[in-house]
Structure 1
C-alpha cells in the first residue's frame, strides 16, 4: 500500500487554437489579451516570432502534448499563425498515432 494518497496526473489541455494562442501571447506578446490575437495573424511577417521562436513552439508542443514534429514540418510557413501551428501539430499528431 502506498504511503500517501494517489493523485492523478494533471490533465493535459486539448490542443486547440486557444491553447496555442495562450502560449504565443504569454511567451511572445506579454500584455496582449489572448482573445485579441487573430488566429490568422502573421507572426513571422510581424516579427512576433523568429526561428528561435519556432524552436520554442516546437519544444512546447513536445513537452505539453508529446507531439514530435518531423524535420519536414519545421518550415517557417508552418508557424506563420496560430492556425497554421495548430494544423502542423495536428498533422504530426496524426502521423504519430498511426500504427
Structure 2
C-alpha cells in the first residue's frame, strides 16, 4: 500500500508540476518548495488531489510544510489521516 501511495503522489507531481518531465532529481525527501516544484497555488492543487484521490479531509491547519513539503512527508501525512479516519469509524 505504501508503494502505491508514494507512486500516486509522484505521478501527480510529475504530471501537474513537472509537466511530464521524468528526467528530474526528485527524491522522496526532496523539498518541493525549496526546489521550486510547487508554489502556493500548487499547494492548493495538491490538497485537492489528496482529498479526492485518497478520500481524506485536509483541514486548514494541516496545510503546513511539515505535511506537504516532500513526497515522504505527504505520504506520512496521508497515512496518519487514514489511520485517524479508521479510528474514528
**Is the structural similarity TM-score above 0.5?**
yes
Gaps of 5+ in 1: 1-13
- For normalisation by structure 1, the TM-score amounts to 0.74
Distance 2:25 2:8 in 1: 14
Unaligned stretches of 5+ residues in structure 2: none
Find 2:6's aligned residue among 17, 35, 47.
17
Residue 34 of structure 2 is aligned with which of 40, 45, 53? Answer: 45
Q: TM-score, normalised by structure 2?
A: 0.82
Distance in 1, matches of 2:45 and 2:23, equals: 18
Q: Which has the higher helix share?
A: 2
Quick one: which of 26, 40, 46 aligns to 1:57? 46
Label 1:34 to 1:84 Cα distance change in 2 as closer, same or farther (>3 A): farther
Q: Structure with the greater relative contact order (CA < 8 A, sep ≥ 6): 1 or 2?
A: 2
User: Quick check: which has more Rg, 1 or 2?
Assistant: 1
The answer to whether the 8 Å contact 1:40/1:81 transfers is yes
> Which 4+ stretches in 1 moved above 6 angstroms?
none
1:75-90 maps to which residues of 2 (within 5 A)?
Answer: 75-90=64-79
Q: CA RMSD in A?
A: 2.0
